Amino acid sequence: MSDPAAGLPILLPPSVIPTKKDHLWQPTRYLSPPQPPAQDDTRSAELELAVQKQLIDVKVLKKTRPRRTVDYMGGIGRHKELKKLRPSPGYLPHMRPAPPYVINLLPPKAYPSNPSTSLCTKFVHTSTNKIRCPVNVVIWTPEGRRVLTGSTSGEFTLWNGLTFNFETILQAHDSAIRAISYTHSGAYIASADQSGIIKYFQPNMNNLNAWQAHREAVRGLSFSPDDGKFATASDDSTVRLWSFEESRSERTLTGHGWDVKCVQWHPTKGLLASGSKDNLIKFWDPRTGTCLSTLHSHKNTVQALAWNPAGDMIASASRDQSVRVFDIRAMKEVRLFKGHKKEVCSLAWHPVHPILVSGGSEGSILHWDVNSPNSASKDATPGMNLGPRATLSEAHDSNVWSLAFHPLGHLLASASNDHTTRFWSRERPGDTTSVFSGGGIKPPEGGDTGGQEDEEEAVPGFEQQQGLGPSGNGEFYDEEPVSQGVSRGGGAGGYGHGRNNYEGGWRGQQQPLPPQINSYASSGYEPGTAQDDDLPFDNSDGIPGFGDSVPGMDSLAGQQQNGSYQYQANQSSAYGRPDGDQWGAYSRGSGGGSSNGGYQRPTRFSGGRGGR
């Protein structure tokens, strides 16, 4: 049957008559040359106004940069999704060494049999207070959103747990903070300081109570599993049990022969463990106050204790440069870890895996696998020395006083005597900058103050302004912070004195040390020996926290002239060099300024340096 309209003429114009060509879209934009991204006129105007305002205020415009963020919610969400969609209970997506596979990096809880996924060795961020001072304690809030630190200035500082920027600061104590602990419920915070005072705070930093708990510094604080009681360890050689609600001492545990440096309550049982300067670890029954057992394994001060999450093992860190792990079910040492070059200051267990992290006074952070395959070999014996699973040999510039894992285990926070709090995360797949097995690289210098006010008068030895150079710091050897030197002018040079380590000043003409000191450097001076009597200064014990100074540096008269600080030494009592010149008070440098030499007692310092 034919179409009746087939012979009819078409009256439509040719431009609208459909043709039989295929109307397929063809890309053409790739043929054009690349174009710069479109400019946001509003943003450009804001930047111009900001530049003009900065020029008016005679300030330098800070370069804006994106803040590094470690967000765990992506991995948590994917892990929850896989629980519902996985083909088998043990299914996990394969990790491949390429950056796009970072979406398959799940929380540590998803890898119960693979502890290597919990080694936090990648440097993320450095956070520093505007007023720089050693950070003694770091702790995560129970929900893991923020990090709380306590410093020697007595300040609480709260940092964001995702972007690591500053949130708030509080003058919580009048002396150095030595211990901070959240209750297990997260409803309260208890803190203790150098003067023996304990305070209660709410999570919003509202102070609830304060009282004098010990005559001397409180070194440790730990809550019972039900939060009804807590224990404190003090330099007065006692451990005390307190009722949390009544703030009342219930029992005093005596038995240590020297300062008690740490105390830890068992996570689920009525059992206390304490470590002391008498090299002993003691276990206590908090109900009766009796000592249940004593461990004599360490050869020097026990500085830190930590129970594993299961509560069947306890780890100890000592000034004998070792970390030991004890199984309390058999009361037997099961691991001996040696890798630190100096004393071990802090410990932290991973919340999921049998990973133990230790911080040393040389600034290193070592990761130990307690269930290392090496320990299961036929040649392994209980207590054998096993190497670290991962090493960060230059994590900090000085003592690592505190370590704390995020509750999920994907982040590690470390607090140090170098005035910084640093954050470490797990390595990413395909990361070419990984330092997982290379001993770690030194994090970049400087730290982010996280938005704290920049306009503040400089304090000698803390900030650098025109006409005032920063002081040099000696390396820290004792538990207490020590005094810092001060400098004036654009100074350079300075006599440095320490244990087998003598330096000239920074950026200046290094001047030779006096022959008497050179003789001690070449002879290998060791503190506590007969050489103490031959030193050209008084090596007697000084005030804790200040160290000893050279005669002539005891009285410094500060004068301000033409906007710069000048410090005069007591020339009448300054120590005289053999050739008759004064030394220890001033040292000349090529920068046109001068500084005190930072000459300090060798048992406290190594390599003290003058200003620059």
Secondary structure (DSSP) of 440-481 = --PPPSS-B-TT--------TTT--BTTBPPPP-PPP-SSS-
Q: What is the mean pLDDT of residues 120-132?
A: 91
Rounded Cα–Cα distance for residues 604 and 607 (Å): 10
| Higher-pLDDT residue of 41, 481 | 41
Residue 342: pLDDT band by 50, 70, 90 thresholds? very high
Instruction: List Cβ neighbours of 566 (8 Å cut-off, separation of 6 or more).
Output: 488, 558, 559, 560
Res 7: pLDDT: 63
| Higher-pLDDT residue of 203, 487 | 203
Res 436: pLDDT: 56
> Given a cut of 50, is residue 259 above it in pLDDT?
yes
> Given a cut of 80, is residue 494 above it in pLDDT?
no
Res 604: pLDDT: 35
**Sheet containing strand 189-193, strands side by side:** 177-182, 189-193, 197-201, 207-212
| Higher-pLDDT residue of 151, 461 | 151
> Given a cut of 70, is residue 70 above it in pLDDT?
yes
Of 152-166, 299-313, 410-424, 502-516, the one with minimum mean pLDDT is 502-516
Question: Which phi and psi (to 5°) does residue 102 adopt?
Answer: -65, -20
Beta strand segments in 172-256, E:
177-182, 189-193, 197-201, 207-212, 218-223, 229-234, 238-243, 248-254
Mean pLDDT, the chain, as a whole number?
Answer: 74
Res 366: pLDDT: 94
Residue 167: pLDDT band by 50, 70, 90 thresholds? very high
Question: Which phi and psi (to 5°) does residue 396 adopt?
Answer: -135, 170
**Which helix H or strand E contains 519, and what residues bound it?**
helix 515-523
Of 2-16, 17-31, 168-182, 320-334, the one with minimum mean pLDDT is 2-16
| One-letter amino acid of 13 | P
Of 32-46, 243-257, 529-543, 558-572, the one with minimum mean pLDDT is 558-572
Got the DSSP string for 401-445?
EEEEE-TTSSEEEEEETTSEEEEEEEPPTT-TT--TTTT--PPPS
> Given a cut of 90, is residue 157 above it in pLDDT?
yes
Res 595: pLDDT: 37
| Higher-pLDDT residue of 543, 514 | 514
Res 451: pLDDT: 60
Instruction: List Cβ neighbours of 428 (8 Å cut-off, separation of 6 or more).
Output: 99, 102, 105, 122, 434
Q: What is the mean pLDDT of residues 3-23?
A: 67
Can you read off the two tokens belonging to residue 546?
A: 């200040």
> Given a cut of 90, is residue 373 above it in pLDDT?
no
Residue 446: pLDDT band by 50, 70, 90 thresholds? low
C-alpha angle 367-475-497 in degrees, rounded to nearest 5: 150
Q: Is 314 exposed, middle or buried (0-12, 13-18, 19+ CB in 10 A)?
A: buried
Residues 220 and 261 sit within 8 Å (Cβ to Cβ):
yes
Question: Which phi and psi (to 5°) does residue 516 adopt?
Answer: -65, -40
Of 67-81, 432-446, 576-590, the one with minimum mean pLDDT is 576-590
Rounded Cα–Cα distance for residues 51 and 487 (Å): 35
Residues 440 and 393 sit within 8 Å (Cβ to Cβ):
yes
Res 42: pLDDT: 82
Rounded Cα–Cα distance for residues 92 and 82 (Å): 8
Whole-angstrom Cα Rg for the chain:
31
Say whether 352 sits in a helix, a strand or coil.
Answer: coil
Q: What is the mean pLDDT of residues 97-101?
A: 85
Res 607: pLDDT: 38
| Higher-pLDDT residue of 10, 89 | 89
Whole-number Cα distances in Å, 548 to 484, 518, 585, 604: 11, 20, 14, 9
Domain(s) of CATH 2.130.10.10: residues in the chain? 115-372+387-425
Residue 439: pLDDT band by 50, 70, 90 thresholds? low
> Given a cut of 90, is residue 524 above it in pLDDT?
no
Res 63: pLDDT: 60
Q: What is the mean pLDDT of residues 565-586?
A: 34
Instruction: List Cβ neighbours of 110 (8 Å cut-off, separation of 6 or more).
Output: 75, 79, 82, 92
Residue 381: pLDDT band by 50, 70, 90 thresholds? low
Q: With CA atoms as reference, report the closest residue to 108 among 365, 427, 389, 353.
A: 353
Q: What is the mean pLDDT of residues 584-593?
A: 36
- Rounded to the nearest 10 degrees, how much is the dihedral formed by the CA atoms of 443, 394, 484, 199? 80
Convert the pLDDT of each residue in 557-572 to its tens digit.
333 333 333 333 333 3
CA atoms within 13 A on the CB side of 457: 5
Place of tokens 């999570």: 203
Res 187: pLDDT: 94
> Given a cut of 70, is residue 22 above it in pLDDT?
no
C-alpha angle 569-574-577 in degrees, rounded to nearest 5: 130
First to last CA, the chain: 105
Of 52-66, 365-379, 401-415, 573-587, the one with minimum mean pLDDT is 573-587
115-372+387-425: CATH topology: Methylamine Dehydrogenase; Chain H (2.130.10)
**Residues 346-379 as b or e (16 or more Cβ within 10 Å = b):** bbbbbbbbbbbbbbbbbbbbbbbbbebeeeeeee
Percentage of the chain exceeding pLDDT 70: 65
Res 415: pLDDT: 96
Q: What is the mean pLDDT of residues 265-288?
A: 94
Residues 423 and 94 sit within 8 Å (Cβ to Cβ):
no
Res 60: pLDDT: 57
Can you read off the two tokens belonging to residue 78?
A: 């994917």
